[in-house]
């Protein structure tokens, strides 16, 4: 049986995980998997079905339905990876502040996380992957060959998220973004199920003073030393 390589990138919101994971996957020729997008899609599906994000039992049922009926799919279009929910491209819809908050809530439910594990691991059974999230190196892929944990100051992360949302036409202000990010940090770090933490064998990088190319260059060099 073919064994594929897995590179994990974890860290808090706004640390640069998505940008760097996507770029690293492209440079390496690997598949990019955004596990956070799966929880965002779940939060959106619950919202549309009028299922309260705080109801673990109901959210769990939605999660099981998403997996069993293959309602979530990642498709690459013109070099850009898009996420589909029920054949609808929701790549932008899952990035709103409201859905982001919902994703943090639904991802805190232990049964929900367990239900979505198979969906995340399935990708790694088919190809080499760069996967990003909050527990990819500790829970989803604990035996990954290379693990990174990205950090950045709260202010820098809020600035990045504010600029990202503004560029997409979402009306937000910096102060609200900062407050929301601080609250999400607290939820992610204190939740009982797979709290945000660095894997013991992960390389920690503070991206606050670094450019994307600087971080990417370091990552590529390390991956090449380990598995290429």
- Of 132, 130, 151, the closest CA to residue 205 belongs to 151
pLDDT tops 70 at residue 166: yes
- The arithmetic mean of pLDDT across residues 7-36, rounded, is 93
pLDDT at 191: 80
Q: Which two tokens stand for residue 4?
A: 């594929």
Over residues 24-79, the pLDDT tens digits come to 999 999 999 999 999 999 999 999 999 999 999 999 999 999 999 999 998 887 77
In a domain, 139, yes or no: yes
> 113 pairs with which residues across the strands?
none
Q: Is this structure's pTM higher than 0.85?
A: yes
pLDDT at 1: 52
* 93, two tokens: 């819809």
Mean pLDDT of the chain: 92
User: CB 83: neighbour CB atoms within 10 A?
Assistant: 21
Residue 228 lies in a domain: no
Q: What is the pLDDT at residue 3?
A: 80
In this structure, is residue 128 part of a structural domain? yes
Range 116-124 average pLDDT: 89
Predicted pLDDT of residue 189:
85
137: confidence class by pLDDT, cuts 50, 70, 90: very high
Residue 225 lies in a domain: no
CA distance 114 to 121: 11
Instruction: Check whether 2 has a pLDDT greater than 80.
Output: no
* Cα(107)–Cα(22) distance, integer angstroms: 22
Question: Which residue range(s) make up the domain with 145?
Answer: 6-213
Let me know if residue 86 belongs to a domain.
yes
What span, in angstroms and rounded, lies between the C-alpha atoms of 214 and 21? 14
Chain CA centroid to CA 214, Å? 21
Does 162 fall in a domain? yes
> How many independent structural domains does the chain possess?
1
Inter-residue contact 58 to 118 (CB < 8 Å)? no
CATH number of the domain residue 84 falls in: 3.40.50.300
């Amino acid at each position: 049986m073919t064994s594929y390589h897995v590179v994990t990138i974890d860290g808090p919101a706004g640390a640069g995980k998505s940008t760097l994971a996507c770029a690293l996957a492209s440079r390496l020729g690997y598949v990019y998997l955004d596990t956070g997008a799966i929880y965002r899609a779940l939060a959106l599906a619950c919202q549309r079905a009028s299922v309260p994000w705080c109801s673990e039992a109901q959210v769990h049922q939605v999660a099981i339905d998403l997996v069993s009926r293959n309602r979530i799919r990642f498709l690459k279009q013109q070099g850009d990876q898009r996420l589909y929910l029920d054949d609808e491209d929701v790549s932008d819809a899952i990035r709103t502040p409201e859905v982001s908050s919902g994703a943090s809530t639904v991802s805190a439910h232990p049964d929900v996380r367990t239900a979505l594990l198979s969906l995340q691991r399935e990708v790694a059974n088919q190809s080499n992957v760069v996967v990003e999230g909050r527990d990819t190196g500790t829970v989803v892929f604990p035996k990954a060959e290379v693990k990174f944990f990205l950090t950045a100051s709260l202010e820098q992360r809020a600035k990045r998220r504010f600029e990202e949302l503004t560029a997409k036409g979402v009306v937000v202000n910096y102060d609200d973004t900062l407050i929301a990010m601080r609250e999400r940090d607290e939820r992610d770090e204190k939740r009982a199920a797979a709290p945000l933490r660095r894997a013991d064998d992960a390389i920690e990088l503070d991206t606050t003073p670094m450019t994307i190319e600087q971080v990417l260059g370091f990552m590529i060099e390390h991956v090449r030393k380990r598995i290429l």
